[in-house]
Structure 1
Amino acid sequence: MKKFSVIVGALFLSFSILSACNSSGGEKGKSEGNDNKATTSSGEFKDQTNLKIGETAKVESTIGKYEITINSVKMKDEIGGEASQLDHFFVTEISLKNIGDQPIDALDTIGILELTEDLKGSGYSDVSESVKVSNPFSGEIKPDQTVTGEAVFEGLDSNENYIRISPGLIAAKGVKNKAIWKFEKAEAK
């Protein structure tokens, strides 16, 4: 399972880099992931780009259909005595509900998310396997089952932050619709 997660992470990074390279150079090269108002949905669910903490997005990807609810975000400078390599850790409680007809891997669903302070820039993926998390995601989520756990992102100090589906995965058609949650620094305490 760890090898699979590493492979998914490497693919995610590759697609993000390719997407970033493709976004330069005039109007024709505008990246869909950089335009918050663009409609990119190629699946059953529409883009959901104005979500707040506590709200749910329906997502369709190559692994299945599921709902993601960002329940809360807590900003911490360290976890278990380990300091963030950036400005802060963002401990994020997330609920996942499998609304498809096949079991899905909990870590794969979390792997599509990233934190960013700039929707036109790159983001930071979940690092919960590297730090001590009190309620980590693991195992399969059966159809109609909901699980709640924690993902941990590292990020920069900013008044506004976003948790979003990686634009690189959307560009590569690994995920069929956008979801973006916006939160203020004051909400993450």
Structure 2
Amino acid sequence: MMKKWKHWLLPTVLLLSLGLAACSNGEPEEEAESTDTAQTDNETTDDNMEQEPDEPATGEDEEETNNDEHIEHQLGLSIGDTATVVSSPDDLTYEVTINEVSYRDELENVTLYDDTFVLVDVTVENVDDKTFDAADIFTPAIGELDSEEYVPAVDSEYLQNTSEITMVEGELAPGDSVEGTFVFDAMQVEQYNLAFGHAGDQITTRAEWEFNSDEIQ
């Protein structure tokens, strides 16, 4: 009887031991598998964050910013100063420099109706991004300082046969410049105001130069 009990007990103990060992071995494997899965998910999230940088500004955005830039009117300038003018409605942008101003009592093939001819030598530079004809810039006018009376420059049509006058004309590509002379049939006064667009004109950006008669050659 004792031998039979021993024979039964030994297999039972072995089975219990194997069962406990199996349970003990299974739990760490499940935890390890869960930890590996969480680590993989975190790595995937980090990779996605690295692959999604901020989108850079496009060229269109930069162009819109440049086109929307506003240039203030420039007033009270002196002979020798340079100003930026923006004409309307074509929005031609160019720089104008007043080089010198002179009086003339007469001009070849041109009739004088007022006191004197006022000749204004200028340099015009195209600072736009498109080509245009220099003759298409805003026509300047001259008047007595602090008055509302201005006379426009003599039309180029009347100066075609005047050899001593160089016209402001010709095609200007971006960066190109031209030097020429505007002629005014005007009164002789103590102080002048030369305006590329004044307060009453429809012009996007205007410029005005002030000078005394003793500055005129």
CA contact (8 A) 1:44 1:60 kept: no
**Aligned partner (choices 120, 141, 149) of residue 122 of structure 1:** 149
Residues in 2 aligned to 1:68 and 1:151: alpha-carbon distance in whole angstroms: 12
Q: CA deviation at 1:167?
A: 2.7
Q: 2:137 aligns with which of 100, 109, 124?
A: 109
What is the aligned counterpart of 1:143 among 154, 165, 174?
A: 174
Paired residue for 1:178, among 203, 206, 214?
206
**1:47 alignment partner AA:** H
Q: RMSD value over aligned CA atoms? A: 2.0
Q: How many residues get paired?
A: 144
Q: Which structure 2 residue ranges, 5 or more long, are not aligned?
A: 1-67
Q: Find the residue that maps to 1:78 and give its secondary structure.
A: coil
Cα distance in structure 2, aligned partners of 1:150 and 1:167 = 20
Q: Does the aligned pair in 1 maintain the 2:138–2:196 contact within 8 Å?
A: no
| Residue 44 in structure 1 maps to residue 75 in structure 2 | no
Change in Cα spacing, 1:87 to 1:79, as seen in structure 2 (3 Å) is same
Counterpart CA distance in 2 for 1:122 and 1:143 is 34
* Structure holding more strand per residue: 1
CA shift digits 1:106-129 (9 cap, x unpaired): 122152x10111443121111152
In structure 2, C-alpha distance between the alignment counterparts of 1:86 and 1:43, rounded to whole Å: 41
After superposition, what is the alpha-carbon deviation per residue over 1:40-99, rounded to whole angstroms, capped at 9, x for unaligned?
A: xx9621111110001001111233111011111111111116442111111111100110
SS at match of 2:137: helix
**Matched position secondary structure for 2:103:** strand
Q: Which segment drifts farther, 123-132 or 65-74?
A: 123-132
- 2-structure distance, mates of 1:159, 1:165: 20
Q: SS state of the match for residue 167, structure 1? A: coil
- Structure (1 or 2) with the larger CA radius of gyration: 2
- Contiguous gaps of at least 5 residues in structure 1: 1-41
Q: Give the TM-score of the pair, scaled to structure 2.
A: 0.61
Matched with 2:82 is 56
Query: Which amino acid is the alignment partner of residue 212 of structure 2?
Result: E
Q: How does 1:1-189 map to 2 (within 5 A)?
A: 44-62=70-88, 63=90, 64-80=92-108, 82-111=110-139, 113-127=140-154, 129=156, 130-131=158-159, 132=162, 133-167=164-198, 170=201, 172=202, 175-189=203-217
- Higher RCO (C-alpha under 8 Å, 6+ residues apart): 1
Q: Percent identity?
A: 25
Runs of 4+ in 1 over 3 A off after TM superposition: none
SS in 2 for 1:90: strand
Cα–Cα, structure 1 residues 81 and 104, in superposed 2: closer, same or farther, change >3 Å? closer
